[in-house]
Structure 1
Protein backbone atom coordinates (compact mmCIF):
# COMPACT_ATOMS: atom_id res chain seq x y z
CA UNK A 1 0.00 0.00 0.00
CA UNK A 2 1.40 3.36 -1.05
CA UNK A 3 1.86 5.85 1.81
CA UNK A 4 3.40 8.90 0.16
CA UNK A 5 5.88 10.20 -2.38
CA UNK A 6 7.68 13.52 -2.36
CA UNK A 7 9.94 15.03 -5.02
CA UNK A 8 12.24 18.05 -5.00
CA UNK A 9 14.45 19.60 -7.67
CA UNK A 10 17.23 22.01 -6.78
CA UNK A 11 20.69 23.17 -7.79
CA UNK A 12 23.40 20.98 -6.30
CA UNK A 13 26.27 18.66 -7.07
CA UNK A 14 24.87 15.09 -7.14
CA UNK A 15 27.92 13.65 -5.38
CA UNK A 16 27.59 16.18 -2.56
CA UNK A 17 23.88 15.39 -2.16
CA UNK A 18 24.57 11.63 -2.11
CA UNK A 19 27.29 12.08 0.53
CA UNK A 20 25.01 14.03 2.88
CA UNK A 21 21.86 12.00 2.15
CA UNK A 22 23.54 8.69 2.99
CA UNK A 23 25.50 9.85 6.07
CA UNK A 24 23.10 8.20 8.52
CA UNK A 25 24.74 9.43 11.74
CA UNK A 26 24.27 13.03 10.57
CA UNK A 27 20.61 12.72 9.53
CA UNK A 28 19.45 14.53 12.70
CA UNK A 29 21.36 17.64 11.56
CA UNK A 30 18.97 18.21 8.65
CA UNK A 31 16.15 15.61 8.75
CA UNK A 32 13.41 17.29 10.79
CA UNK A 33 11.91 13.96 11.87
CA UNK A 34 15.13 12.38 13.22
CA UNK A 35 16.45 12.78 16.74
CA UNK A 36 19.06 10.00 16.60
CA UNK A 37 20.26 7.76 13.76
CA UNK A 38 23.00 5.18 13.45
CA UNK A 39 24.16 2.57 10.99
CA UNK A 40 25.88 -0.57 12.26
CA UNK A 41 28.33 -0.93 9.37
CA UNK A 42 28.97 0.38 5.87
CA UNK A 43 26.19 1.89 3.76
CA UNK A 44 25.47 -1.28 1.78
CA UNK A 45 22.71 -3.88 1.44
CA UNK A 46 22.22 -5.96 4.56
CA UNK A 47 23.50 -3.36 7.00
CA UNK A 48 21.15 -2.65 9.88
CA UNK A 49 20.56 0.66 11.55
CA UNK A 50 18.40 2.36 14.11
CA UNK A 51 16.66 5.73 14.15
CA UNK A 52 14.54 7.61 16.67
CA UNK A 53 11.99 10.03 15.37
CA UNK A 54 11.37 13.22 17.34
CA UNK A 55 8.51 12.62 19.73
CA UNK A 56 8.20 8.93 18.86
CA UNK A 57 9.83 5.62 19.64
CA UNK A 58 12.89 4.50 17.75
CA UNK A 59 13.03 1.60 15.38
CA UNK A 60 15.34 -0.63 13.41
CA UNK A 61 15.82 -0.53 9.66
CA UNK A 62 17.84 -2.47 7.14
CA UNK A 63 19.48 -1.11 4.00
CA UNK A 64 18.25 -3.44 1.24
CA UNK A 65 19.38 -1.76 -2.00
CA UNK A 66 22.24 0.61 -2.82
CA UNK A 67 22.92 1.81 -6.34
CA UNK A 68 25.77 4.23 -5.47
CA UNK A 69 25.10 7.83 -6.37
CA UNK A 70 21.60 7.03 -7.60
CA UNK A 71 19.27 4.99 -5.39
CA UNK A 72 18.92 3.38 -1.98
CA UNK A 73 16.15 1.53 -0.19
CA UNK A 74 15.50 0.73 3.47
CA UNK A 75 12.98 -1.56 5.13
CA UNK A 76 11.58 -0.94 8.60
CA UNK A 77 9.65 -3.58 10.51
CA UNK A 78 6.35 -2.40 12.00
CA UNK A 79 3.70 -4.39 13.83
CA UNK A 80 2.06 -6.73 11.31
CA UNK A 81 4.24 -5.63 8.40
CA UNK A 82 7.07 -3.65 6.86
CA UNK A 83 7.53 -0.08 5.62
CA UNK A 84 9.82 0.35 2.61
CA UNK A 85 11.43 3.73 1.94
CA UNK A 86 12.84 4.24 -1.57
CA UNK A 87 15.22 7.13 -2.24
CA UNK A 88 16.15 8.24 -5.76
CA UNK A 89 18.69 10.84 -6.90
CA UNK A 90 18.75 11.86 -10.58
CA UNK A 91 20.27 14.60 -12.66
CA UNK A 92 17.64 17.17 -13.55
CA UNK A 93 19.65 19.29 -15.94
CA UNK A 94 22.98 21.08 -15.69
CA UNK A 95 23.83 21.59 -12.03
CA UNK A 96 20.47 20.33 -10.78
CA UNK A 97 19.32 17.20 -9.00
CA UNK A 98 15.92 15.58 -8.56
CA UNK A 99 15.30 13.75 -5.29
CA UNK A 100 12.37 11.41 -4.72
CA UNK A 101 11.41 9.69 -1.49
CA UNK A 102 8.61 7.14 -1.54
CA UNK A 103 7.11 5.09 1.29
CA UNK A 104 5.07 1.91 0.93
CA UNK A 105 3.74 -0.43 3.59
CA UNK A 106 3.06 -4.13 3.41
CA UNK A 107 0.91 -5.88 5.99
CA UNK A 108 -1.90 -5.21 8.39
CA UNK A 109 -0.67 -1.88 9.76
CA UNK A 110 -1.17 -0.16 6.40
CA UNK A 111 -4.50 1.55 7.20
CA UNK A 112 -3.13 2.97 10.46
CA UNK A 113 0.09 4.21 8.85
CA UNK A 114 -1.87 5.89 6.06
CA UNK A 115 -3.15 8.25 8.75
CA UNK A 116 0.46 9.35 9.36
CA UNK A 117 1.33 9.74 5.68
CA UNK A 118 0.47 13.47 5.38
CA UNK A 119 2.80 14.31 8.27
CA UNK A 120 5.53 12.07 6.84
CA UNK A 121 5.22 13.88 3.51
CA UNK A 122 5.41 17.33 5.18
CA UNK A 123 8.46 16.23 7.18
CA UNK A 124 10.11 14.99 3.99
CA UNK A 125 9.46 18.34 2.28
CA UNK A 126 11.04 20.23 5.19
CA UNK A 127 13.95 17.77 5.31
CA UNK A 128 14.66 18.12 1.59
CA UNK A 129 14.80 21.90 2.05
CA UNK A 130 17.24 21.46 4.93
CA UNK A 131 19.26 18.93 2.90
CA UNK A 132 19.54 21.44 0.06
CA UNK A 133 20.79 24.10 2.50
CA UNK A 134 23.23 21.64 4.11
CA UNK A 135 24.72 20.74 0.73
CA UNK A 136 25.00 24.38 -0.36
CA UNK A 137 26.85 25.24 2.90
CA UNK A 138 29.60 22.70 2.19
Structure 2
Protein backbone atom coordinates (compact mmCIF):
# COMPACT_ATOMS: atom_id res chain seq x y z
CA UNK A 1 0.00 0.00 0.00
CA UNK A 2 1.18 3.51 -0.79
CA UNK A 3 -0.20 6.90 0.18
CA UNK A 4 1.02 10.14 -1.41
CA UNK A 5 0.33 13.82 -0.86
CA UNK A 6 1.94 16.78 -2.63
CA UNK A 7 1.53 20.43 -1.69
CA UNK A 8 3.06 23.57 -3.26
CA UNK A 9 3.14 27.09 -1.84
CA UNK A 10 4.59 30.38 -3.06
CA UNK A 11 6.71 32.73 -0.99
CA UNK A 12 8.49 36.04 -1.38
CA UNK A 13 11.50 34.46 0.37
CA UNK A 14 14.46 33.37 -1.72
CA UNK A 15 15.36 29.71 -2.19
CA UNK A 16 18.46 30.43 -0.06
CA UNK A 17 16.25 31.60 2.83
CA UNK A 18 14.19 28.41 2.63
CA UNK A 19 17.29 26.25 2.28
CA UNK A 20 18.87 27.84 5.36
CA UNK A 21 15.96 26.48 7.43
CA UNK A 22 15.75 23.11 5.71
CA UNK A 23 19.47 22.40 6.00
CA UNK A 24 19.44 23.15 9.74
CA UNK A 25 17.72 20.14 11.35
CA UNK A 26 17.88 21.94 14.70
CA UNK A 27 15.33 24.42 13.32
CA UNK A 28 12.84 21.83 12.07
CA UNK A 29 10.80 21.86 15.28
CA UNK A 30 10.37 25.66 14.91
CA UNK A 31 8.37 25.27 11.71
CA UNK A 32 7.04 21.68 11.74
CA UNK A 33 4.57 20.99 14.59
CA UNK A 34 5.00 17.22 14.11
CA UNK A 35 8.72 17.41 14.97
CA UNK A 36 9.84 17.66 18.60
CA UNK A 37 13.57 17.27 18.00
CA UNK A 38 16.13 16.09 15.47
CA UNK A 39 19.60 14.67 15.97
CA UNK A 40 21.68 14.35 12.79
CA UNK A 41 24.98 12.50 12.78
CA UNK A 42 27.39 14.46 10.62
CA UNK A 43 26.74 17.12 8.02
CA UNK A 44 23.54 17.73 6.06
CA UNK A 45 24.50 15.55 3.09
CA UNK A 46 23.34 12.46 1.24
CA UNK A 47 23.63 9.39 3.40
CA UNK A 48 23.64 11.27 6.70
CA UNK A 49 21.50 9.55 9.32
CA UNK A 50 19.88 10.56 12.54
CA UNK A 51 16.90 10.29 14.81
CA UNK A 52 13.74 12.36 14.72
CA UNK A 53 11.38 12.56 17.68
CA UNK A 54 7.87 13.15 16.43
CA UNK A 55 4.75 14.19 18.35
CA UNK A 56 3.50 11.26 20.36
CA UNK A 57 6.42 10.97 21.12
CA UNK A 58 7.56 8.61 18.40
CA UNK A 59 11.27 8.13 17.83
CA UNK A 60 12.11 7.43 14.18
CA UNK A 61 15.46 6.84 12.52
CA UNK A 62 15.91 8.78 9.30
CA UNK A 63 18.34 9.04 6.41
CA UNK A 64 18.90 11.86 3.94
CA UNK A 65 18.51 9.97 0.65
CA UNK A 66 18.93 12.99 -1.64
CA UNK A 67 20.56 16.34 -0.93
CA UNK A 68 20.90 18.91 -3.69
CA UNK A 69 22.21 21.97 -1.81
CA UNK A 70 20.03 25.01 -2.21
CA UNK A 71 17.30 23.12 -4.04
CA UNK A 72 16.13 19.76 -2.72
CA UNK A 73 16.37 17.14 -0.04
CA UNK A 74 14.54 13.88 0.55
CA UNK A 75 14.46 12.24 3.94
CA UNK A 76 13.35 8.67 4.66
CA UNK A 77 11.91 7.76 8.05
CA UNK A 78 11.32 4.20 9.17
CA UNK A 79 8.66 3.47 11.77
CA UNK A 80 8.10 -0.26 12.19
CA UNK A 81 6.98 -1.62 8.81
CA UNK A 82 6.25 1.87 7.45
CA UNK A 83 8.61 3.86 5.26
CA UNK A 84 7.88 7.58 5.02
CA UNK A 85 9.66 9.67 2.41
CA UNK A 86 9.37 13.44 2.44
CA UNK A 87 10.73 15.16 -0.65
CA UNK A 88 11.37 18.92 -0.29
CA UNK A 89 11.94 21.09 -3.35
CA UNK A 90 12.43 24.86 -3.66
CA UNK A 91 12.76 26.70 -6.97
CA UNK A 92 13.20 30.37 -7.75
CA UNK A 93 10.25 32.12 -9.37
CA UNK A 94 9.73 35.77 -10.19
CA UNK A 95 9.44 37.57 -6.87
CA UNK A 96 10.53 34.71 -4.63
CA UNK A 97 10.27 30.94 -4.59
CA UNK A 98 7.94 28.02 -4.94
CA UNK A 99 8.13 25.29 -2.30
CA UNK A 100 6.86 21.77 -2.95
CA UNK A 101 6.67 19.00 -0.38
CA UNK A 102 5.70 15.48 -1.45
CA UNK A 103 5.12 12.85 1.20
CA UNK A 104 4.79 9.13 0.48
CA UNK A 105 3.96 6.47 3.02
CA UNK A 106 4.57 2.83 2.11
CA UNK A 107 3.66 -0.26 4.06
CA UNK A 108 0.75 -1.91 5.82
CA UNK A 109 -2.01 0.58 6.59
CA UNK A 110 -0.39 3.37 4.56
CA UNK A 111 -3.78 4.63 3.34
CA UNK A 112 -4.94 5.04 6.95
CA UNK A 113 -1.69 6.38 8.39
CA UNK A 114 -0.82 8.71 5.50
CA UNK A 115 -3.49 11.31 6.33
CA UNK A 116 -2.33 11.33 9.96
CA UNK A 117 1.32 11.77 8.92
CA UNK A 118 0.46 14.65 6.59
CA UNK A 119 -2.21 16.44 8.63
CA UNK A 120 0.25 19.13 9.78
CA UNK A 121 1.71 19.74 6.31
CA UNK A 122 -0.25 22.96 5.64
CA UNK A 123 0.74 24.39 9.04
CA UNK A 124 4.38 23.34 8.63
CA UNK A 125 4.62 24.94 5.20
CA UNK A 126 2.96 28.17 6.40
CA UNK A 127 5.40 28.40 9.33
CA UNK A 128 8.34 27.65 7.06
CA UNK A 129 7.27 30.45 4.72
CA UNK A 130 6.82 32.85 7.65
CA UNK A 131 10.28 32.13 9.04
CA UNK A 132 11.95 32.22 5.61
CA UNK A 133 10.33 35.56 4.79
CA UNK A 134 11.50 36.98 8.14
CA UNK A 135 15.16 36.15 7.36
TM-score (norm 1): 0.87
Q: Is the 8 A contact 1:14 1:69 kept in 2?
A: yes
Gaps of 5+ in 1: none
Q: Is the 8 A contact 1:6 1:121 kept in 2?
A: no
Number of the residue aligned with 1:115: 112
Q: Is the 8 A contact 1:5 1:121 kept in 2?
A: no
Please provide the CA RMSD for this pair: 1.6
Displaced runs of 4 or more, over 4 A: none
Cα offsets for 1:51-96 (capped at 9, x unmatched): 11122311110001111111111111232342221111112x2222
Number of the residue aligned with 2:133: 136
Number of the residue aligned with 2:100: 100
User: Structure 2 CA distance, aligned partners of 1:12 and 1:49?
Assistant: 28
With over 3 angstroms needed to count, the CA separation of the structure-2 counterparts of 1:50 and 1:16, relative to structure 1, is same
Gaps of 5+ in 2: none
User: Structure 2 CA distance, aligned partners of 1:135 and 1:128?
Assistant: 10
- 11-20 or 70-79, which moves further after superposition? 70-79
Number of the residue aligned with 2:63: 62
Number of the residue aligned with 2:121: 124
